């Protein structure tokens, strides 16, 4: 049984192509149900995000998985082959570990992908299409991803504006759980800022937007994770004093947060510090507010320089992470060999026990018929030893034929160790 990874991502396919090769949970449930009677399509996990669609499967026919991916999305296989990548066994495992660890993401080191892969696995398990072996592979990949996140700095440096603002807030303030954040404009950039800050556990987010409906929509998205309040845009100056962090990105041609308003807000706050981030071009916040004690003002250029530097650091950290993944892949191979050896040893012991039982039954029957016990025991021990030595003898012959002498040397040393152990036991018994 082969472990395969087949898919497309932002490296191999355009966004238009990726949109056509995508699955949601409802569609996957239906497809999993259809695959129940197809052994080669009944042990798989599908990871589908905006940047990738990948099928991880245990199968004896990888081509059938490729055909399924193409047909499920209305593609000819030859068309899909122009964009698809395919890995098997160790390469597939290495790829899965890189994906789960954020090393194959468009935004290097992004943390969301691990949760997305875990959700994909859970969906497949809920629909009974994940074997014990496939689940074990994913659990090892999650272990590898955790090692990458905790033992390298690949995810520690902000490389997006939204995340950079959130990280900046955590550096300025020691207790994120006590912060009130004001989002001025509920566009894409500030939405990301709000989501990152909500994930970091701020106390409250105030949304101030010209169009109330858009603010309400964002509030609904955030409401499950943080307390949210919507205020009208004409209340901005009056509500400013409530905010520990202000992120503004309106797209206005004129400033919307003025020096006098910030000065008044500071006085109302009894001069407790405020972090103000201006993500707008032209700028939303009067840059003179930076002269006020207690105001920390950052603009787009400030954040971009931080992001550029962080990207260099993250790429360096990614090199360490890639080395770790390679080492863990080797460890996985060793673990699999040990696991396989355990199964083979168990099987060998079962066969040996069957042979022992057969010889014992034969001997007991012979005793009933009056056979000489001593001769019977000698014959039984001879037959049993001959049967047990058959497989080791075969291994010795195969090892001797091999161009690599290490296997034969290991077997020979093992025999010598057994002989030494036997002599030691014999000496102890004499005492």
Which residues are known to be catalytic? 50
CA–CA dist 172, 220 (Å, integer): 28
Scored b (16 or more CB within 10 A) or e, 33-45 reads eebeeeebbbbbb
Task: Extract the tokens encoding 160.
Answer: 């997006």
CA–CA dist 81, 67 (Å, integer): 10
For residue 42, give the DSSP letter.
S
Q: What are phi and psi of 254, to 5 degrees?
A: -130, 155
Sequence-distant (≥ 6) Cβ neighbours of residue 141 within 8 angstroms: 93, 96, 97, 99, 100, 117
Nearest to 280 by CA among 297, 293, 292: 297
CA–CA dist 71, 360 (Å, integer): 59
The three-state secondary structure class of 410 is helix
The three-state secondary structure class of 141 is helix
Sequence-distant (≥ 6) Cβ neighbours of residue 252 within 8 angstroms: 280, 282, 284
Residue 240 class from Cβ within 10 Å (0-12 exposed, 13-18 middle, 19+ buried)?
buried
CA–CA dist 13, 202 (Å, integer): 38
Q: What are phi and psi of 186, to 5 degrees?
A: -105, 40
């Amino acid at each position: 049984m082969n472990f395969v990874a087949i898919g497309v991502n932002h490296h191999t396919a355009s966004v238009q192509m990726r949109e056509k090769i995508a699955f949601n949970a409802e569609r996957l449930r239906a497809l999993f149900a259809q695959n129940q009677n197809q052994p080669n399509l009944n042990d798989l996990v599908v990871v589908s995000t905006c940047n990738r669609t990948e099928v991880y499967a245990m199968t004896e026919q990888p081509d059938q998985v490729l055909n399924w991916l193409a047909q499920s999305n209305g593609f000819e296989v030859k068309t899909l082959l122009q964009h698809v990548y395919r890995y098997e066994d160790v390469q597939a495992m290495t790829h899965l570990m890189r994906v789960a660890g954020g090393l194959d993401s468009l935004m290097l080191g992004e943390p969301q992908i691990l949760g997305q892969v875990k959700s994909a696995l859970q969906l497949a398990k809920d629909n009974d299409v994940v074997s014990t072996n496939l689940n074990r592979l994913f659990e090892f990949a999650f272990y590898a991803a955790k090692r990458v996140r905790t033992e390298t700095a690949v995810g520690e440096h902000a490389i997006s504006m939204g995340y950079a603002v959130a990280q900046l807030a955590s550096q300025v303030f020691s207790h994120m759980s006590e912060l009130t954040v004001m989002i001025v404009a509920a566009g894409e950039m500030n939405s990301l800022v709000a989501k990152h800050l909500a994930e970091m556990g701020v106390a409250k987010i105030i949304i101030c937007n010209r169009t109330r409906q858009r603010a309400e929509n964002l509030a609904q998205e955030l409401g499950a994770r943080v307390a949210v309040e919507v205020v009208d845009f004409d209340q901005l100056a009056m509500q400013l004093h409530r905010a520990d962090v202000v992120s503004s990105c309106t797209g206005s041609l004129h400033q919307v947060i003025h020096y006098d308003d910030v000065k008044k807000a500071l006085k109302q706050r009894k001069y407790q510090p405020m972090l103000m981030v201006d993500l707008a071009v032209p700028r939303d916040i009067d840059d003179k507010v930076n002269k006020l004690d207690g105001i920390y003002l950052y603009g787009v250029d400030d954040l971009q320089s931080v992001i550029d530097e962080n990207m260099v650091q993250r790429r360096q950290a990614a090199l360490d992470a890639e080395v770790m993944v390679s080492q863990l892949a080797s460890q996985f191979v060793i673990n699999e060999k040990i696991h396989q050896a355990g199964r083979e040893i168990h099987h060998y012991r079962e066969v040996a026990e069957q042979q022992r039982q057969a010889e014992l039954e034969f001997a007991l029957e012979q005793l009933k018929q009056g056979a000489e016990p001593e001769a019977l025991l000698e014959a039984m021990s001879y037959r049993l030893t001959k049967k047990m030595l058959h497989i080791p003898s075969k291994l010795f012959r195969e090892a001797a034929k091999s161009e690599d002498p290490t296997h034969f040397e290991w077997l020979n040393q093992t025999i010598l160790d057994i002989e030494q152990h036997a002599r030691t036991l014999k000496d102890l018994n004499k005492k």
